[in-house]
Structure 1
């Protein structure tokens, strides 16, 4: 019998851990910015800034003779899912649901990774992956319950939680599509070019959605959502952060990590996001981490370890 092995190396672990850390920061500042800017517009501005950051790194991508235009179908799908779809749905969720509910729904990501992989990519679900998902989800629930399981009974789901469920499904589909390297080698081997290509087409979709949002706000503004951008230094700082960290750096690391470890295993790392979010929130409030944070971290890491073992 062969000895179990793991595709995780220290560099791969680092690549897959940094995005949840940055996305936790995105959730915190996204919730902070919710009263200042409509969610779809927030997402559009985030990726406009990200495109401006990426353009000097790979300007040839948008030239007339670029291979990008011959592969517009692939990058339209990737951009629609990652740039326009997932982030828009997440910001909508932060407007229409509690942070606790959004985090709980997002913890289903490893399950959706396995489901999408099995149904659409023919990848079988292994027993250790199911066990790993159970351990990882238990860690998330421990964070959300603050170490008291009866707190989970007080959760009340609202229609807005469906936005985050849709976001989880969109991200699972995007992650699996990253494994199909159909693009030109010039773009495939240049991370900035690959991300810029997605951003170009994603912004096209995001622009249409942002225009639709403003038409919606003009006709029937929903309660609690701002109908104009309230510009300020804090909002500018938030936009710069989400463009640099959760967008450029996190997407670069996530794409590289998925290529190394595969979407299913990478999906388990997303459950570090609620843990990082809880620790960040505690730090901003001046509170010390609790014992259940350490226990939750142990469960999530155990889930990652179990699911990564192969024969």
Structure 2
């Protein structure tokens, strides 16, 4: 039978990839204006300051969060410190095509990590769903041409993205596999800011390493300011809120298949910016990706 996914949960798990697609496009646009680790650190610093007036109790000395600081330290490392920094770093040497193609492997890593570390065996339907969904993503990324697919070449940026996908898969499993105080769990702002507190430490350390090796030039402009405003409010706060709640409701494996919507949205955004018309393979890819989501949620 099918596992019911509420429309609200589907909407949240769809909005997060849409915002993250915008994040990838924006990260590529401002790559020459600010170093990647520094961009990640500034992004989360601003997001932390925005949420602080609404969730300051989570980081106060009397907060129950401190009793579980190791959990939040790990979540902050994987979700805030590593994932986006690695993605921004990957965009420096790789193409958006390759980065999103590597990112499409998220459902596979979700299944593998769940089986290896959390004792959750992959079901046949989930494996079939993963294959269909990834085929749909590849169809978009190669624009329906096998020649373009065969022309892909892996570079160091692609390896950074593999590490980012592994980090995100672990982060998503830990969202539902460990417990925390209900006071924080039931308040999304407090839950997110608790991760940010430790994530800022990790991302700040990575930015410090980046500056120590000479990558510290920031070219401030209205373009960079507008990009920063978007990635702080959209991909950082709104997307993490939607993803966290969606994973809690649908589970990390089912949610992982929605990640494959990210490159589809990225392709649409790129087409919109370039003024190109959609093609038939976009519709075919959408059907395959949605089919993968539906099949993976059956049991």
Shorter chain as normaliser: what TM range? over 0.9
- Superimposed CA distance per residue, residues 278-302 of structure 1 (whole angstroms, 9 cap, x where no aligned partner): 0001111111111111110000000
1:24-53 deviation line (CA, Å, top 9, x unaligned): 000000000100000000000000011011
State yes or no: 1:21 paired with 2:18: yes
Pick the aligned partner of 2:102 from 105, 115, 139: 105
Q: Counterpart in 1 of 2:235?
A: 246
Shift of 1:15: 1.1
**Counterpart check, 1:195 vs 2:192:** yes
Do 1:20 and 1:269's aligned partners in 2 also have CA atoms closer than 8 Å?
yes
From 174, 177, 200, give the equivalent of 1:177: 174
Write out aligned runs for 1:71-220 (5 A).
71-217=68-214
Q: For this pair of structures, how many residues does the alignment match?
A: 299
* Segments ≥4 residues shifted beyond 2 Å: none
1:144-188: per-residue Cα shift (whole Å, max 9, x none)? 110112210111111221000000000000000000242111111
Q: Distance in 2 between the 1:43 and 1:160 partners?
A: 16
Secondary structure of residue in 1 paired with 2:219: coil
Residue aligning to 2:249:
260
Tell me, yes or no, if structure 1 residue 67 matches structure 2 residue 64: yes
Pairwise CA distance, 1:68: 1.8
Task: Name the SS of the counterpart of 1:65 in structure 2.
Answer: coil
How far off its partner does 1:274 sit?
0.5
Query: 1:49-104 deviations in whole A, cap 9, x for unaligned?
Result: 11011111111112111112221101000000000011111111011211111111
TM-score normalized by structure 2? 0.98
Give unmatched runs, 5+ long, in structure 1.
222-226
Alignment partner, residue 302 of structure 1: 291
> Which stretch of structure 1 is more off in the superposition, 287-296 or 74-83?
287-296
The equivalent residue for 1:36 is 33
- Helix, strand or coil at the partner of 1:125: coil
**Which 5+ residue runs of structure 2 have no aligned equivalent?**
none
CA RMSD of aligned residues (A): 0.9
Q: How much does 1:7 deviate? A: 2.8
